[in-house]
Amino acid sequence: MGKKILVAGAGHGGLTAAAQLAKAGFQVTVIERHEKENLGYDWFDALNPAVFAMVGCPHPEAAGIPWQNRADVTYFGPTTDEAHKIPQRFTKPGDIEITMERRDLYKLLTGFAEDCGVTIDYGVTVTGPLMAGDRVVGLITDRGDYTGDLVIDAAGLFSPVRMGLPDCLGIQKTVLKNERIYTYRAFYDLPVDPGTVKDVYKVMFRPDPGRDFSLSWIYTRDTYTDLLIGHMEPPGEKEIEEIAERYRRENPQLGKTKLRGGQTVPIPFRRPLAVLVADGYAAIGDAAFMTMPLNCSGISTSIEASKILADAVIADKTETFSAETLWPYQLGFFRQIGKNMAPIALVKDMIIGLTAAETDYAFNTGLITWRELTITADQHSIWQFLHFDPKLPRRGLTLAKDPVLLKKAAGAVADTAAFYAWMQRLPKQFSRAAVQKWARGYDKIFTHRL
């Protein structure tokens, strides 16, 4: 014990991994580019409240931090009418997420980490990994080099650590166009009585014509309306204003005065990274593309993954933190989360490949139902989509009536089957050649139709 662990970026999973490892006796330093008061974003997020207990972090309630239950979502296609909108329907009380201000969540997580003995160096920008041959031995920063026995990469989607790793490690650096989504988010005034708003949390598939794909929400809170616009390329300022103005025509709850937010931020919109570890290195959170591929929630998953990572590090009695000894993290992540979450990216690719007319058809004919759409950050399983439904034969017939749609759906089903077959071949032990071969096959399942 007493070995030095560096965490690049105060990502959520990075902070909770840091806390668990410091508690176990490691010297842990988190290196974060922002100052403490500027961590996170100026908005709230939804997450599964069960994850706090998983990592030994106090629940926000116990820490005196405000939270509330998330409102249920109502889903709309491009032209969905009142009769065909799809409201979420939770079947278990435990499925309900909570919302918290991101800055409050950061207060909770940094407080937890510091209480466990973690040092957080704020205002330090990591520029890349410090390498000794093929091993990561530290971080290069704008304040000089940091050395450590293990680097946990929690620096987000465009992590300079992951992107700076040598190619021979076989860890993917960049993402393709369809593998991230740019989201504009801002809070506007609420010019109507919130009690008169019928669908408090509207999520709209393909609401913006002429784009490759678009996904937006209008979420009415007590005193403001939360607007999110998601596109495959960052929307410009003028475009955002035009879209918001168009939404206002049917959604008088969306006021004109911007109160908070207004940033455009990319989110991973894809399967998790194929290889999570190298000698002296482990990736977590958005740095490892751990967002749920359909709703892009990544906080709960990254905190859950931090338990798997911390357990693997603590179990490494050799304290070498090599790819070989960190491999149980990869195996644990894919067995517990990745195995059923990754194929949701195939559903996502199918959905973004639908035309507006096909999306409407899926809504209006009952092809898509509340079961598929009652998803949360915690329900990161393809089995949410592949479930028993007595109406399946009727839905099958509806699908068969649209041969193009049928072909797209059949492709997703075939790829899902190929994925599960390939998962059986995930090497049980780390060997660079075998792991890289597996990773190439894994990536190909998701990219061969792009």
3-state secondary structure 409-438: HHHHHHHHHHHHHHHCCCCCCCCHHHHHHH
Strand partners, 383: none
Per rule CB under 6 A, is residue 34 in the interface with ligand FAD?
yes
List the one residue from 5, 6, 39, 275 that touches ligand FAD (CB under 6 A): 39
Closest distance to ligand FAD from the beta carbon of 47 (Å)? 5
Closest distance to ligand FAD from the beta carbon of 262 (Å)? 11
User: Residue type at 404?
Assistant: V
List the one residue from 23, 33, 162, 270 that touches ligand FAD (CB under 6 A): 33
Per rule CB under 6 A, is residue 235 in the interface with ligand FAD?
no
Nearest alpha carbon to residue 97 among 305, 297, 285, 260: 297
- Report the residue number, 45 or 316, with the smaller CB distance to ligand FAD: 45
Per rule CB under 6 A, is residue 218 in the interface with ligand FAD?
no
Quick one: which segment of 3-11, 165-173, 349-357, 407-415 binds ligand FAD (CB under 6 A)? 3-11
How far is it, in rounded angstroms, from Cα 328 to Cα 158? 25
CA angle (68 as vertex; 252, 296 as ends), nearest 5: 75
Quick one: which segment of 39-47, 207-215, 307-315, 326-334 binds ligand FAD (CB under 6 A)? 39-47
List the one residue from 118, 377, 405, 426 that touches ligand FAD (CB under 6 A): 377
Strand, coil or helix: 399: helix
Per rule CB under 6 A, is residue 306 in the interface with ligand FAD?
no
In contact, 309 and 179? CB cutoff 8 Å: no
- Measured over the CA atoms of residue 412, residue 416, residue 421 and residue 425, the dihedral's sign is positive
Per rule CB under 6 A, is residue 136 in the interface with ligand FAD?
no
Q: How far apart are the first and last CA of the chain?
A: 46
What are the φ and ψ backbone dihedral angles of 318, each rounded to 5 degrees? -75, -20
Closest distance to ligand FAD from the beta carbon of 83 (Å)? 29
Per rule CB under 6 A, is residue 51 in the interface with ligand FAD?
no
Residues that bind ligand FAD (CB under 6 A): 9-13, 31-34, 39, 45-47, 125-126, 154-156, 160, 183, 185, 228, 265, 267, 285-287, 291, 296-300, 302, 377
